[in-house]
Amino acid sequence: MQTLNNRIDSLDLAPDYFDYIIVDEVHHIAANSYRPILNRFTPKILLGLTATPERHDGTDISEDFCNTIAAELRLPEAINLRHLCPFQYFGVDDTVDLSSVKWVKGRYLPSELTRIYMTNDQRVGHILRTMEDVLGNIQTIKALAFCVSQDHAQFMAEKFCLKGLKAGVLTSSNSQERVSLREKLVKGEINILCVVDIFNEGVDIPEIDTVIFLRPTESLTVFLQQLGRGLRLSDGKDCLTVLDFVGNAHSEYDFSHKFRALIGKKHISIIDEVQDDFPHLPLGCSIVLQKQAKEVILKNIRNAIVNKQKLIKWIRGYPSQTNLKLTLSNFMTLYPQVSLEDIYKIKINGGGGWSRLCVQAGFTDDTLDKKIEQAMFRSISIRLLQCSSHSYLLFIQRLMKSGAWDTSNEIENQMALMAHYDFWQKPGKDFGFDSLEKSLSALIRDNKLRLECLDVVNHLLKNIETFELPMDIGFPSALNIHSRYTRDQILAAFGINRFDKKSSSREGVIEIKHLNCELLFVTLKKTDKKFSPTTFYHDYAINEILFHWQSQNSARPDKGKGLSYLQHQKNNKKIILFIREDTTDEYKRAMGFVNLGPVNLESHYGSQPISITWRLQEPLPPYLWSDAAKLAVG
């Protein structure tokens, strides 16, 4: 990239000379060195590849790609699909307290960390004892040890050698030895290679079986890059062992982001995961935290929880931090630790949200339309934040711009009714609306709230992690396969919720006779508090395309409802399966359902209830496969 950039002005090439440009490690694209090349050429296809799209500075790299991620496979899904090897992660008590170490621009001051680590032989002894306890025969490992600086790397390599280990050092000062040191590590001529950041990217050594973090890693991008050095598949390698030394940290240090990335599911409370020993990891993986490390991590996460007081304080201090206009998107860029859930979990006088927080912080006058504010807050906080449908969020985006939709399009009409119940949650007459058009056009009366909703939707669209597929069920449907929807959105799309009447059904099975279809709603994790003995059905994934489901207790295979399931293909009846992992998410909101689409009968046995195996038309998405499969044996 640097070579091409240096010659860019001398190249006699037209802007459209290249049909196809591929940018590897595309998270660097925001750097000044990349811009002349991107500004010079206009290829038909620009393809960016990266394992870590989120930048530590919060810069959004998606703008160069029409704000669209064409395909995405996160680390947990890659492990579940066996593209990467599983890991066993040990969070080990550290002997060093870093809570008072100077914190500058989102990270510890490297010189202070180096000084602390290099004057502490007690810590070195603790590291060596831990390696022997956890790794066993440390003479056979192939390990990368990530250090804070070149001096620290040299120091640790010398200490390892003094204890009889074969250790080497690779930093920018001896980068010419990269190939030879790599070969020595692969051949076992050295056991531990002490590095700084030189092995973060662009290096592939599948034989690495151990990664040791001898320093805190502030950046999630860097953490995932360094962890990824050991996750490559290799013959004879069952898993990667990770040692991470955890001590008291600075109040700004964030432990939660690395564990969130390893779990890969945003609906799960990280505090619950830590307390329950991480039950939702990818298949074959484990995280073990020693007692003190666990206490340090829980304390850090609890203290880092964003509340109303913190948000108002940060909004008031925003002008002193940047010259950018105060908007929701700019604020979240400046404070990347803040999520939309943090903002929309806070209820204020029946309403809430970004605009209300700005009023509370004294930034704007309180001119908000209270009725619209409450509708927007309800919709965003309990409906839109759970929806992962790209097509539906695009509809909401268009709706917020114009207040109208194509009434000649059946799918858009379904989305309009979904939006009505998202924002108002009751039939139109309860709010004095005599038409769907009046209901939705009312939403854009308050321009501040309209722009706030647009900001939210734009943020959601940029961060969708699932790829939705069209659902072919013989009639138009606004719902797509693999997208997550709330129950009310699903009922509105199928016309069960009407503009003049909302369905009161809470059943797990809903038959729609005029459409000749039936909807199955499955909650994978069932608890005694939420389910009675008569509804404690045994539902789980057998594999990626087969799903075991139990009918109602009254169903028999020879008549009635049970027989209708067994003969559904003969009668051209569509059975559509919706599943969710739990009844509520980490914010105690009712969890939405993932649309798995139409299913067909594969086999069955038993009576009252009938155990049915359904065959999915599309395989389970990887992030669901882990939960659904574990419940088969859990």
Q: Report domain extents, the chain.
A: 1-64, 75-304, 308-447, 507-628
Task: State the SS3 of 548-614.
Answer: EEECCCCCECCEHHHHHHHCCCCCCCEEEEEEECCCECCCCCECCEEEEEEEEEEEEECCCCCEEEE
The residue assigned the tokens 């009751």 is 426
The per-residue pLDDT for 304 is 78
Q: Does domain 507-628 have CATH number 2.60.40?
A: no
Q: Which amino acid is at 428?
A: G
The per-residue pLDDT for 532 is 46
For the chain, which ranges sit under pLDDT 50?
A: 202, 528, 530-536, 631-634
Can you tell me whether residue 211 is helix, strand or coil?
Answer: strand
Can you tell me whether residue 618 is helix, strand or coil?
Answer: coil
Residue 249's alpha-carbon distances to 9, 148, 221, 246, 293, in angstroms, are 48, 15, 19, 8, 11
Rounded CA-CA distance 330/388 in Å is: 23
- Extract the tokens encoding 62: 């998606």
The per-residue pLDDT for 486 is 96
> How many Cα atoms occupy the beta-carbon half-sphere of 608 within 13 Å?
3
The per-residue pLDDT for 588 is 85
Instruction: Kindly report the pTM of this predicted structure.
Output: 0.70
Rounded CA-CA distance 411/414 in Å is: 5
Q: How many CB atoms lie within 10 A of CB 412?
A: 18
pLDDT 10s digits, 243-280: 999 998 888 888 888 888 898 766 677 888 899 999 88
- Extract the tokens encoding 172: 């920018």
pLDDT 10s digits, 280-317: 899 899 999 999 999 999 988 888 778 899 899 889 98
The per-residue pLDDT for 537 is 60
Question: What is the topology classification, in CATH, of domain 75-304?
Answer: Rossmann fold (3.40.50)
Rounded CA-CA distance 632/634 in Å is: 6
- Extract the tokens encoding 597: 């689409």
The per-residue pLDDT for 303 is 81
- Cβ-based neighbours of 444, under 8 Å, separated by 6 or more: 399, 400, 402, 403, 450
Rounded CA-CA distance 593/389 in Å is: 12
Using the 8-state DSSP alphabet, how is residue 107 labeled? E
- Cβ-based neighbours of 423, under 8 Å, separated by 6 or more: 375, 376, 378, 379, 439, 440, 443
The per-residue pLDDT for 437 is 96
Helix axes 256-263, 220-228, angle to 10 degrees: 50
> How many Cα atoms occupy the beta-carbon half-sphere of 632 within 13 Å?
15
Using the 8-state DSSP alphabet, how is residue 467 labeled? -
